[in-house]
Amino acid sequence: MDVLGVEEIQLSGNAARLQAIINVEAFEPPPFSFDPGEAPGEIFGANVFTLAEMRLRLPKSVFKSVVATIDKGAKLDPAVADAVASVMKDWALSRGATHYAHVFYPMTGLTAEKHDSFLDPVGDGTTLAEFAGKTLIQGEPDASSFPSGGLRSTFEARGYTGWDVTSPAYILENPNGNTLCIPTVFVSMTGEALDYKTPLLRSQQAMGAQAERILKLFGHKDFDHIVSFCGPEQEYFLVDRHFFLARPDLINSGRTLFGAKPPKGQEFDDHYFGAIPDRVLGFMMDTERELFKLGIPAKTRHNEVAPGQFEIAPMFERANIAADHQQLLMTTFKTIAKKHGMECLFHEKPFAGVNGSGKHVNFSLGNAQFGSLLVPGDTPHENAQFLVFCAAVIRAVHKFAGLLRVSVASATNDHRLGANEAPPAIISIFLGDQLADVFDQIAKGAATSSKGKGTMIIGVDTLPELPTDPGDRNRTSPFAFTGNRFEFRAPGSGQTINVPMIILNTIMADSLDYMANVLEKAVADGEGFDEAVQKLLTEIITEHGAVVFNGDGYSDNWQIEAAERGLPNLKTTLDSIPQLVTPEAIEVFEKYGVFNARELHSREEVRYEMYALTVNVEAKLTLEVGSTVILPAAIRYQTELAQNVAALKAAGVDADTTLLSTVSAPISELTAALTALKTALGAHGGDTGKEEAEHAASLLPLMDAVRAAADTLEGVVADDLWPLPTYQEMLYIL
In SS3 terms, 470-507 reads as CCCCCCCCCEEECCCCEEECCCECCCCCHHHHHHHHHH
pLDDT of residue 468: 63
Q: For position 280, what pLDDT does the model report?
A: 92
Q: What is the DSSP letter of 225?
A: P
Return the pLDDT at 34. Answer: 63
DSSP 611-627: HHHHHHHHHHHHHHHII
The H-assigned helical ranges of 355-408 are 384-399, 401-406
pLDDT confidence of residue 9: 36
The predicted model scores a pTM of 0.92
Tell me 238's DSSP state: E
**How many C-beta neighbours within 10 Å does residue 627 have?**
17
Let me know: does 563 contact 549? Beta carbons within 8 Å: no
Q: DSSP string spanning 318-370?
A: EHHHHHHHHHHHHHHHHHHHHHTTEEEE--S-SSTTS---BEEEEEEEEETTT
Q: Give 10-residue mean pLDDT values along the chain (734 residues).
A: 37 63 75 68 90 92 89 80 89 91 89 83 60 82 75 69 92 90 89 92 96 96 92 95 94 96 78 85 93 92 90 92 95 95 96 92 94 90 92 97 97 84 85 88 81 66 63 80 92 95 98 97 94 93 95 89 95 96 98 96 95 97 97 95 89 85 96 98 89 96 98 94 94 88
Residue 148's pLDDT is 77
Among residues 732, 722, 677, 717, the alpha carbon closest in space to that of 700 is found at 677
Residue 236 makes CB contacts below 8 A (sequence gap 6+) with 309, 310, 311, 312, 333, 344, 345, 346, 357, 493
Whole-angstrom CA distances from 47 to 91, 115, 309, 374 are: 10, 18, 29, 33
Q: Given this model, what pLDDT does residue 318 score?
A: 94
Torsion over CA: 311, 314, 317, 323 (sign): negative
At 327 the pLDDT is 95
- Helix (H) or strand (E) holding 553, with range, is none
Instruction: Identify the DSSP state of 548.
Output: B
**Model pLDDT, residue 15:** 67
For residue 513, what pLDDT is reported?
98
- Per-residue pLDDT at 121: 64
Q: Work out whether strand 317-318 and strand 227-240 pair parallel, antiparallel, or are unpaired.
A: antiparallel
Per-residue b or e along 126-141, where b marks 16 or more CB atoms closer than 10 Å to that residue's CB:
eeeeebebebbbebeb
